[in-house]
Amino acid sequence: MSKQEFLNALQGALTGRVNASQIAENVNYYDDYISAQVRMGRSEEEVTAELGSPRLLAKSIVEASRHADRSAGSAGNGVEDYGDSGYDGGYGSGMDYGGARKRKMPVWLIVLLVVLAVLAVLSMIFSAFVFLAPVLLPILFVVIVMKLVERGT
């Protein structure tokens, strides 16, 4: 099945079951995904075959949408409930095009890593100063004494 056939079938299967913004979001996602795979040398037919049936994928998207609605405490949107299989067809699962899981780092962890990096840099600077101080301080002292002697004459 070509990319356009797949996207049309997906859009048709989602129409009336989820809102228009979710349809556009999903169609754009799979359009981008298929295009990315084609750029990596795969054929549209190979990628769409791997994705499976657009109708089954739409069912999974609807289930994920219903699960999200229930989790948010909404009263529902009149969409038929297929149960909670836990499978969302890859949509909303944090999967990127390569199949690797994306995880957002918590802000506190980012702040901690930045603070540790700054401390490591300061520690290296201080260690270098402590290591070089026994050599540099006498040289600095001699230079200062020589400048004072030159001014005095």
Count of residues making up the chain = 153
Is the Cβ–Cβ distance between 63 and 83 less than 8 Å?
yes
Is the Cβ–Cβ distance between 81 and 64 less than 8 Å?
no
Taking the CB of residue 63, how many other CB atoms lie within 10 A of it? 22
**Token pair for 59:** 């069912």
Indicate the burial class of 69 (C-beta count within 10 angstroms; 0-12, 13-18, 19 or more): middle
Q: Percent of the chain scored above 90 by pLDDT?
A: 36
pLDDT exceeds cutoff 70 at 122? yes
Which of 48-52, 83-87, 118-122 is predicted with the least confidence, judged by mean pLDDT? 83-87
What value does the mean pLDDT take over residues 56-83?
68
Q: What are the beta bridge partners of residue 101?
A: 95
Instruction: Name the nearest CA neighbour of 22 among 86, 56, 84, 69.
Output: 69
What is the three-class DSSP state of 15?
A: strand
Q: Residue 49's pLDDT band (boundaries 50, 70, 90)?
A: very high
CA distance 105 to 110: 7
pLDDT for 129: 84
**For 15, phi and psi rounded to 5 degrees?**
-60, 130
pLDDT exceeds cutoff 90 at 39? yes
pLDDT exceeds cutoff 50 at 52? yes
**Token pair for 34:** 């298929």
Regarding predicted confidence, which is higher, 153 or 37?
Answer: 37
Check the CA dihedral 24-30-36-38 and report its sign: negative
What value does the mean pLDDT take over residues 45-72?
85
94: Cα within 13 Å, side-chain hemisphere: 5
